[in-house]
Structure 1
Amino acid sequence: MTTMVVNGQRYALLLELAGTHYAGTAIQPAPIPTLHRHLAECLDQLCPGTAASLQCCSRLDAGVAASCFTVHCDLNQNWSPTKLVQALNGLLRWPDHQRHASCLAAAAVAADWDAWRSARSKTYRYRILCSGAPPLHQQHCLWLRRQPRHDILQQAAHLFLGQHDLSGFACLRGDASDLWSPQRHILRSQWEFDEDQRGQWLTYEVCGTGFLYKQVRGMVGAMLSIASRDGESLISFSAAIAAGRQASRVGDVAPAKGLTLSAIDYGQAQPNWQHPA
């Protein structure tokens, strides 16, 4: 249930995450370095006592990047959104002066706006490089030496469209969220193929109203499995979608490196983002 602002103003923040250094984005016991902990410490320096209101749009795993990651917080004093962005970026650095997150924009929002609950859909992208030589560690992608079959990847992706129980492609968190409905509505699911001097790039894009724990990575791992020479058939893949919680795992969960949260749609509740000059 969304906590309402009693005094002060609620702000939405738009961040970009490199997918490095942080042990995910969710609250974790001290001293585990998560985005939530780092951002809360920064907010407490700006407005003491306001960190408890911080809410992230999603619980990303360690290694997952984001080009569009939103949070909301309730500050006990009014800020110019652009000044708030500049102040946060002055603090969002680690002791070694490395930056693993950046605040891109901010907006004053309604007292009941919620970074998680107000979202209508989220879009993830998973990038794969197929080449004879591995990429440098700075590149956020999965490296494969052998090419999977593009036609099988695309056919499998289209099978995800619509509403399904996709828990057969996800993992349990070991908390109360495991009891929530596993039904998810997938609005877009497709592969894109491109080539440059490094090799062949495969990009999977999926948009849905919500995702289970490690669901996207499980979907990618399953598609790669059936599209490889020794992979399983589309029949077993379709059966896993239909079986829900009783499904047998198809393939392995793909690594976090390669996955990016790329967009969040808030519909009419989209914040009026203000970017610093």
Structure 2
Amino acid sequence: MPRYALKIEYDGRPFCGWQTQAAQKSVQGAVEAALARLEPGLPRIGAAGRTDTGVHATGQVAHCDLTRDWNPFRLIEAINHHLRPLPVAVLACAKVEDDFHARFSAHERRYLFRVLARRAPPTFEAGQIWHVRHRLHLAPMQQAARHLIGTHDFTTFRASKCQAPSPIKTLDTVEISVHDVPYGQEFHFALRARSFLHNQVRSIVGTLERVGAAAWTPDDVKTALEARDRTACGPVSPPDGLYLTAVGYAKDPFANLDEQAQPD
């Protein structure tokens, strides 16, 4: 059975998250339903990250095994046709080796969290950005984020129901930038790691927001990390501003799209 890698974009608001759950609408379920219109009875697809309820993606990666040898361009068109009108789209498709696995072959994941700091609420991007009504200060958040870089026990920033076997993770980067928008500022938190704990990104951003608001000091973040205690964490940010933006592989399956995804 030929195996295909899919790069998927979605708005997470209508879904219970990526993973299929009984009697709830999921992104995985939507993609599987579209594939079933092409080849009924297929096994479930695998994905690089199980994003939570309301979390978005611009670079989710999944793989599927099909019985038919599809032209990747035609497969994109067919899946997207059957996904309408849901806010999910396949951006790219590539035929891959049988041992490729969207989750287990990945060596890094990248997330972006967007925060809008201004009095007026968002209009066009409501539900796609975290809105705070107070000012945030960039430099203290950047200073605080440096305490989190490297290999640590992230128990403080881990959901109580996290099923990961260990709280020890290596956070490669936390880059924070600010961009002017009408009557306010938009802050971007870009995080990169091989893998993340459940709610780790939202817990980190929620805590750093407290530093930006001058409710915490940068050293308070270091103290919270070293406490290895979930109750020491700051507020967990809402899912609105969180995006899975990229998944890294030793061999990028989408590197030669000009050759792989052209129509016959």
Matched, 1:87 2:78: yes
Matched, 1:262 2:245: yes
Matched, 1:123 2:114: no
User: Where do 1:172-251 residues align within 5 Å?
Assistant: 172-173=160-161, 177-178=163-164, 180-229=165-214, 231-244=215-228, 246-251=229-234
Runs of 4+ in 1 over 2 A off after TM superposition: 232-236, 246-250, 267-277
Match of 2:131 in 1: 143
Q: Partners of 1:189 and 1:80 in 2: how far apart?
A: 38
Q: Partners of 1:226 and 1:264 in 2: how far apart?
A: 29
Residue 2 of structure 2 aligns with an amino acid whose one-letter code is Q
Matched, 1:19 2:34: no
Percent of matched pairs sharing the same residue: 28
User: What is the total number of aligned residue pairs between the two structures?
Assistant: 259
- Pick one of 119, 124, 128 that aligns with 1:132: 119
Q: Partners of 1:13 and 1:75 in 2: how far apart?
A: 12
Asked if 2 retains the 8 angstrom alpha-carbon contact of 1:25 and 1:60, the reply is yes
Match of 2:45 in 1: 54
Q: Partners of 1:75 and 1:67 in 2: how far apart?
A: 24
Give per-residue Cα distances to partners, 1:92-146, cap 9 Å, x unaligned. 02xxxx3310011101101010001111111111111111211116342111111
Matched, 1:107 2:94: yes
Asked if 2 retains the 8 angstrom alpha-carbon contact of 1:20 and 1:100, the reply is no
Q: Partners of 2:261 and 2:58 in 1: how far apart?
A: 15
Residue 208 of structure 2 aligns with an amino acid whose one-letter code is M
Structure 2 residues not aligned, in runs of 5+ = none
Root-mean-square deviation (Å): 1.7
Change (3 A) 1:260 1:53: same
Asked if 1 retains the 8 angstrom alpha-carbon contact of 2:159 and 2:230, the reply is no
Q: Partners of 2:118 and 2:216 in 1: how far apart?
A: 23
Asked if 2 retains the 8 angstrom alpha-carbon contact of 1:167 and 1:215, the reply is no
What TM-score, normalized by structure 1, do the two folds share? Answer: 0.88
- Pick one of 164, 172, 183 that aligns with 2:152: 164
Asked if 2 retains the 8 angstrom alpha-carbon contact of 1:239 and 1:247, the reply is no
Match of 1:10 in 2: 3
- Pick one of 15, 36, 40 that aligns with 2:32: 40
Structure 1 residues not aligned, in runs of 5+ = 1-7
Change (3 A) 1:99 1:276: farther
Report deviation, 1:269: 4.8
Asked if 2 retains the 8 angstrom alpha-carbon contact of 1:82 and 1:276, the reply is yes
- Pick one of 64, 69, 91 that aligns with 2:60: 69
Residue 15 of structure 2 aligns with an amino acid whose one-letter code is Y
